[in-house]
Amino acid sequence: MEKICLDNKTIFVTGSAGFIGSNLVKRLFKDVKDATIIGIDNMNDYYDVALKEYRLRELDALAATYHSSHITYHFIKGDIADKAVIDGIFEEYKPQVVVNLAAQAGVRYSITNPDAYIQSNLIGFYNILEACRNFPVEHLVYASSSSVYGSNKKVPYSTDDKVDNPVSLYAATKKSNELMAHAYSKLYNIPSTGLRFFTVYGPAGRPDMAYFGFTNKLRKGETIQIFNYGNCMRDFTYVDDIVEGVVRIMQGAPEKKQGEDGLPLPPYAVYNIGNNQPENLLNFVDILQQELIRAKVLPEDYDFEAHKKLVPMQPGDVPTTYADTSALERDYGFKPCTPLRDGLRAFAEWYKEFYG
């Protein structure tokens, strides 16, 4: 592994107004010295743009605070699917470390809006890879997803498992990202690391995620649907744990080596980042409603049982996600560990403050 010091570097974060992206930029402001951080986001309306604008305001305020540690921060409203925009950023700023978090997310949305996934997740990622080829970088880190495990029966999911059975277009695009990155690593010796994230949650998260959608509905007195009759297991991973993993991995790139044929061996790796402790969905929802009552989002006498409905599995969903994180622990000395109740408490308190 090649050690990379992030101080004095130019770091390019795509999807920087997104949930993980904005939290990563915040962390870099705190940890990195004498760095230039470039963020890009297309600010699309897949979910409430006000939430993305809120995250950007937070970043602007923090950037001013950390300016004394010589952090230079630029935000660009643009789309990674626009090749001219990406090439222009690489030409102007010449980033040494690139973290590609921009993507069209969501399993269910990929069934009704496939075009968005081809544009962002395939064409957009291709533009990033081409730019990394033409303006060599020290490390490309990119988001993959636990969705690539598809209908695999073996748990916990290991990065050594075959992942050839996607059950949604979203999953297929993320697996494609891993294949494209491998090809570019092999052909052009670009150190790249893919990260398979497992059900990320936390304050100011994505409203299309179950915990956020459940909260919105419960607050309005609507009924929530719990799929697969509650028999789903999810490896919920708190956003701070995801960011910790990303920052550690940014600083350790796969090593460039030559094979016996004199050609480069691809400096390529993929890791799971998950809590390594799947939770039953019914238990998850029970803890969520307890924390929503504690934060006074819901009244103390809220009749939770009257507002939940057990329904069959949806197309594109899988019954279980469960991360084997042994490789992450071995190579980077890190394992996500935030207890579910702590994470949901932080979300509930943020929700109360944000929505009143």
Average pLDDT for residues 40-69, to the nearest whole number?
Answer: 91
Amino acid, single-letter form, for residue 17: A
Average pLDDT for residues 287-305, to the nearest whole number?
Answer: 95
Angle between helices 210-219 and 340-355 (to 10 degrees): 50
Which pLDDT belongs to residue 67?
65
Which pLDDT belongs to residue 234?
87
For 154-163, write each residue's pLDDT tens digit. 989 999 999 9
Mean pLDDT of the chain: 94
Closest CA to 163 of 270, 278, 236: 270
For 240-256, write each residue's pLDDT tens digit. 999 999 999 999 999 99
Residues that are catalytic: 170
Which pLDDT belongs to residue 246?
98
Which of 39-48, 62-71, 150-159, 200-209 shows the lowest per-residue confidence on average (mean pLDDT)?
A: 62-71
Average pLDDT for residues 271-286, to the nearest whole number?
Answer: 92
pLDDT of residue 260 exceeding 90: no
Q: What's the predicted TM-score (pTM) here?
A: 0.95
Average pLDDT for residues 107-116, to the nearest whole number?
Answer: 91
For 319-343, write each residue's pLDDT tens digit. 778 999 999 999 999 999 999 999 9
Predicted confidence band of residue 24 (pLDDT cuts 50, 70, 90): very high
Burial class for 355, CB neighbours closer than 10 Å (0-12, 13-18, 19+): exposed
- Residues 50, 147: Cα–Cα separation, whole Å: 27
Burial class for 264, CB neighbours closer than 10 Å (0-12, 13-18, 19+): middle
For 69-90, write each residue's pLDDT tens digit. 688 999 999 999 999 999 999 9
Residue 308 CB-half CA count within 13 A:
19
For 190-205, write each residue's pLDDT tens digit. 999 999 999 999 999 9
pLDDT of residue 68 exceeding 70: no
Which pLDDT belongs to residue 262?
83
